[in-house]
């Protein structure tokens, strides 16, 4: 049995162990509610259990007892957010966060650091590793919930920012330069080939990453799956075509939708009104 996987604490009914072809054990998430996945890295069992139990209604929670386990799970489970203690044996929270942020596979995952030390130097060091937030123990659970929620909700702002529909408040937008370049490259390809019915692997190849990494990066940065992400971009382009005088059928066909009714239904779902009304109002 893989010692690291076997020592990971299991907190929800959705976490199961299954054997792979090499007879090793690994963790798998099968949460039908599709809740965000939260990885908590904490060597104090009481605090680890407290956080996981308090947040399990909002997240599928996974526990790790040190930075080594945290790194392993971050790379294999692709959590939506990580909460980590700083002081831990072996790889501590600072080093784990630095390694996560240096690795393109995990650099998009927001990290909240917890520590009993309130010295401003420690806070600065924590943020310099790439952590998105820093909370001093003892912490208020409602505050921790709010910080985590805000970090996940910023994904809508990230998408709007890179599509040019910049929200008013972007000063607190937290995204690394390499993740920003990845999104720009992806969006540029879609904008240049919006009439083509291309597959996800084409985009992944264009970005020089595997299909799995591409999926995880897009979902982690924007909150949408690659299929949803591409669809939203194409509908944004269709809206611009309508603004420029194209009729509904032309806008649909030019953005790769062969079924105008289906296109209209998706358009209304995204913009809150039908494409025909969009054109009339413009």
**C-alpha to C-alpha distance for 42 and 93, rounded to whole angstroms:** 9
Mean local confidence (pLDDT), 22-35 = 42
CB 85 within 8 Å of CB 114: yes
Confidence at residue 167, expressed as pLDDT on a 0 to 100 scale: 52
- Which one is predicted more confidently, 159 or 228? 228
CB burial of 138-172 (b: ≥16 within 10 Å; e: otherwise) equals: ebeeeebeebbeebbebbebbbebbeeeeeeeeee
- For the cut 80, the answer to whether the pLDDT of residue 34 exceeds it is no
Q: Of 123, 155, 187, which residue sits at a domain end?
A: 155
Residues 144 and 246 in one domain: no
Mean local confidence (pLDDT), 167-172 = 54
Bridge partners of 248? none
Within-domain flag for 168: no
- Which one is predicted more confidently, 230 or 29? 230
Number of domains comprising the chain: 2
Residues 124 and 61 in one domain: yes
Q: How confident is the model at residue 165 (pLDDT cuts 50, 70, 90)?
A: low
Mean local confidence (pLDDT), 268-278 = 91
Residues 144 and 86 in one domain: yes
- For the cut 80, the answer to whether the pLDDT of residue 222 exceeds it is yes
- For the cut 80, the answer to whether the pLDDT of residue 102 exceeds it is yes
> What residues make up the domain containing 101?
3-155
Q: Of 155, 189, 209, which residue sits at a domain end?
A: 155
Mean local confidence (pLDDT), 161-179 = 69
- For the cut 70, the answer to whether the pLDDT of residue 2 exceeds it is no
Q: In what order do the strands lie in the sheet with 111-115?
A: 9-10, 60-64, 37-41, 81-85, 111-115, 133-136
Q: How confident is the model at residue 174 (pLDDT cuts 50, 70, 90)?
A: confident
Q: Of 155, 190, 206, which residue sits at a domain end?
A: 155
Confidence at residue 228, expressed as pLDDT on a 0 to 100 scale: 92
**C-alpha to C-alpha distance for 186 and 206, rounded to whole angstroms:** 8
**3-class state of residue 145 by DSSP:** helix
Residues 137 and 43 in one domain: yes
pLDDT tens digits, 255-267: 999 899 999 999 9
Residues 122 and 182 in one domain: no
- Please give the DSSP secondary-structure letter assigned to residue 259: -
CA-nearest of 58, 66, 54 to 9 is: 66
Residues 112 and 203 in one domain: no
Confidence at residue 252, expressed as pLDDT on a 0 to 100 scale: 94
Residues 18 and 139 in one domain: yes
Residues 18 and 58 in one domain: yes
Arithmetic mean of pLDDT over the chain: 83
Residue located via tokens 């990494």? 213
**C-alpha to C-alpha distance for 207 and 216, rounded to whole angstroms:** 13
Confidence at residue 17, expressed as pLDDT on a 0 to 100 scale: 29
Residues 63 and 198 in one domain: no
Q: For residue 204, give the CATH number of its domain.
A: 1.10.10.60
Most confident of 35-49, 145-159, 267-281: 35-49
Q: For residue 82, give the CATH number of its domain.
A: 3.40.50.2300
Q: How confident is the model at residue 281 (pLDDT cuts 50, 70, 90)?
A: low
Residues 142 and 200 in one domain: no
Residues 273 and 150 in one domain: no
Residues 202 and 242 in one domain: yes
- Please give the DSSP secondary-structure letter assigned to residue 66: S
């Amino acid at each position: 049995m893989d010692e690291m996987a076997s020592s990971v604490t299991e907190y929800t009914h959705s976490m199961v162990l299954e054997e792979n072809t090499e007879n090793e054990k690994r963790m798998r998430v099968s949460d039908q509610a599709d809740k965000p996945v939260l990885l908590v890295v904490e060597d104090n069992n009481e605090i680890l259990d407290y956080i996981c139990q308090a947040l399990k209604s909002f997240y599928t929670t996974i526990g790790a007892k040190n930075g080594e386990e945290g790194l392993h799970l971050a790379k294999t489970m692709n959590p939506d957010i990580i909460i980590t203690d700083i002081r831990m044996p072996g790889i501590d929270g600072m080093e784990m966060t630095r390694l996560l942020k240096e690795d393109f596979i995990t650099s998009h995952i927001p990290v909240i650091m917890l520590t009993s030390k309130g010295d401003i130097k420690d806070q600065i060091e924590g943020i310099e590793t790439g952590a998105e937030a820093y909370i001093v123990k003892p912490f208020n659970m409602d505050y921790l919930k709010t910080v985590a929620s805000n970090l996940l909700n910023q994904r809508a702002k990230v998408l709007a920012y890179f599509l040019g529909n910049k929200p008013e408040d972007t000063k607190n937008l937290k995204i690394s330069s390499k993740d920003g370049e990845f999104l720009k490259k992806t969006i540029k390809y879609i904008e240049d080939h919006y009439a083509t019915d291309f597959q996800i692997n084409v985009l992944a190849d264009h970005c020089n990453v595997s299909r799995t990494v591409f999926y995880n990066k897009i979902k982690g940065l924007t909150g949408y799956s690659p299929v949803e992400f591409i669809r939203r971009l194409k509908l944004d382009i269709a809206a611009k075509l309508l603004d420029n005088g194209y009729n509904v059928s032309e806008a649909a066909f030019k953005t790769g939708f062969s079924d105008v009714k289906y296109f209209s239904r998706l358009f209304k779902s995204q913009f809150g009104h039908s494409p025909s009304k969009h054109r009339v109002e413009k």
